[in-house]
Amino acid sequence: MLDGLPKELKEKLKQIEQEAFLELSSQSFDEKSLEDFRIRYLGRNGKLTQILKDIGALSPQDRPTLGQLANTVKGTLTQKISELSDTLKKSQREKLLQETQIDITLPGRPSYSGSFHPILKTMDDIVDIFKRYGFQVAEGPEIESDYYNFEALNIPKNHPARDMQDTFYISEDVVLRTHTSPVQIRVMEKFKPPLRVIVPGTVYRHDADTSHSPMFHQVEGLLVDEAVSFAHLKGILTYFVHELFSSETQVRFRPSYFPFTEPSAELDIGCIFCLGKGCRVCKHSGWLEVAGCGMVHPAVFEAVKYDTEKISGFAFGMGVERLTMLRYHIDDIRLFYENDLRFLEQFS
Ligand code: PHE
């Protein structure tokens, strides 16, 4: 009976081998079906495994030949499976690479970079010019006491000069500063002369139309030393105008009034649009008003306990919006605060 067995097993082995290779060549596999195939033949209860177990039960004479044969079949099958699995993995990787490929020839998405607001740009430019003249930057609070905004600047309560600046009151003694001049007082209280400061800042006045905004910007300047004269003031401001506009720009100092300077003047520049011929912007005068200035009033020095016998100084204040409108030919102040990108992008 045992004699018949090896022959039968050999037949069965051949049959399994044929079956397996037929399946392998006629079917296209994916990872899952290949694994199923492997289990069906080589798994613990696989067809080939079963035969190997049966061969183990054969007589010692029959075992080696059949064993060898079975092992060869097993070897070829294992190798074939691993080859197929390799090809599958490779083609999967290629597919993934194809799908995730980046076309580096496509045009890029534009990236928008921010830019300085024209007001800030002008303010920086002004400050930079004065820094080169040896001025140091100082700043002060926007919510200011009546004392610094008015009183110490020689503008007592009920003084008609208070009407020059329409004030936002927070309480009886606290205001939104109407100008950057209070910083003059704050700086002089803290430091002894000589001093040169330039003060950029935001100020507030109850006023709104095409050339006035309730919130706007000023740059204040203050220089205090021994024997400072009006000639120094004229010299520095003339240099400044030539740097901010052009060396051709005309300059004129027109007598004016401020409670905290004496004498006081208004700085005018020759109209940069019509070059003095007269146009709509300069209201046909040929001149544009750009800053207030004057020699620091002795009452102001007294408020900060400076010796009026020994020292003198000058101060000036200019509106940044107005200067920016002139520089860039902008005719409505409200454009600065709408933050319309089409407007702002022109200054980047
Ligand atoms: N503070 C004044 C204003 O706002 C400008 C000014 C400053 C005038 C300094 C003289 C000196 O109108």
Query: Per-residue pLDDT tens for 83-100?
Result: 999 999 999 999 999 888
Residue 186 has phi, psi (to 5 degrees) of -60, -40
CB of 314 within 6 A of ligand 1: the answer is no
Q: Which of 179, 301, 320 to mutate to test the pocket of ligand 1 (most atoms within 8 A of CB)?
A: 179
Ligand 1 centroid, distance to 146 Cα (angstroms): 16
Residue nearest to atom 9 of ligand 1 (CA): 316
CB of 118 within 6 A of ligand 1: the answer is no
Which atom of ligand 1 approaches the CA of 318 most closely?
5
Spell out the residues 6+ positions from residue 291 whose beta carbon is closer than 8 angstroms to its own. 237, 266, 267, 316, 317, 318, 319
Contact 325, 304 (CB under 8 A): no
Give every strand in the sheet of 143-145, ordered side by side: 143-145, 174-176, 169-171
pLDDT value of residue 159: 85
CB of 292 within 6 A of ligand 1: the answer is yes
Ligand 1 centroid, distance to 185 Cα (angstroms): 13
Residue nearest to atom 2 of ligand 1 (CA): 317
pLDDT tens string 169-201 = 999 999 999 999 999 999 999 999 999 999 999
Ligand 1 centroid, distance to 182 Cα (angstroms): 10
> What value, to the nearest 5°, has the Cα angle with vertex 313 and ends 307 and 315?
130
- Counts for the chain of helices (H) and strands (E), in that order: 12, 10
CB of 181 within 6 A of ligand 1: the answer is yes
On average, the pLDDT of the chain sits at: 92
Where do the domains of the chain lie?
Answer: 2-99, 118-347
* Of residues 62 and 123, more confidently modeled: 123
Q: Is the peptide bond before 194 cis (omega within 30 degrees of 0)?
A: yes
Residue nearest to atom 5 of ligand 1 (CA): 317
CB of 261 within 6 A of ligand 1: the answer is yes
Ligand 1 centroid, distance to 177 Cα (angstroms): 12
Which atom of ligand 1 approaches the CA of 184 most closely?
9
- pLDDT confidence tier of residue 62, bands split at 50, 70 and 90: confident
> What value, to the nearest 5°, has the Cα angle with vertex 268 and ends 267 and 274?
165
Domain 118-347 CATH superfamily? Bira Bifunctional Protein; Domain 2 (3.30.930.10)
Sign of the C-alpha dihedral, residues 48, 49, 52, 54? Answer: negative
Beta strands 136-137 and 195-204, pairing class? parallel
- Comparing 238-242, 247-251, 274-278, 321-325, the range with the smallest average pLDDT is 274-278
Ligand 1 centroid, distance to 211 Cα (angstroms): 18
Ligand 1 centroid, distance to 204 Cα (angstroms): 14
pLDDT value of residue 3: 46
Residue nearest to atom 10 of ligand 1 (CA): 293
Spell out the residues 6+ positions from residue 162 whose beta carbon is closer than 8 angstroms to its own. 150, 155
pLDDT value of residue 103: 85
Contact 55, 63 (CB under 8 A): yes
Taking the model in full, what pTM does it have? 0.71
Closest by CA position to 319, among listed 289, 291, 287, 293? 291
* Percent over 70 (pLDDT), the chain: 99
Beta strands 136-137 and 174-176, pairing class? unpaired
Q: Which whole-number Å values give the CA distances from 175 to 139, 142, 154, in the listed order?
A: 17, 8, 16
- Comparing 58-72, 108-122, 205-219, the range with the smallest average pLDDT is 58-72
Residue nearest to atom 7 of ligand 1 (CA): 317
CB of 319 within 6 A of ligand 1: the answer is no
Ligand 1 centroid, distance to 202 Cα (angstroms): 14
Ligand 1 centroid, distance to 320 Cα (angstroms): 13
Helices (DSSP H) in the chain: which residue ranges?
Answer: 4-26, 31-42, 47-56, 63-99, 118-132, 146-149, 182-190, 230-244, 298-303, 320-328, 335-338, 341-344
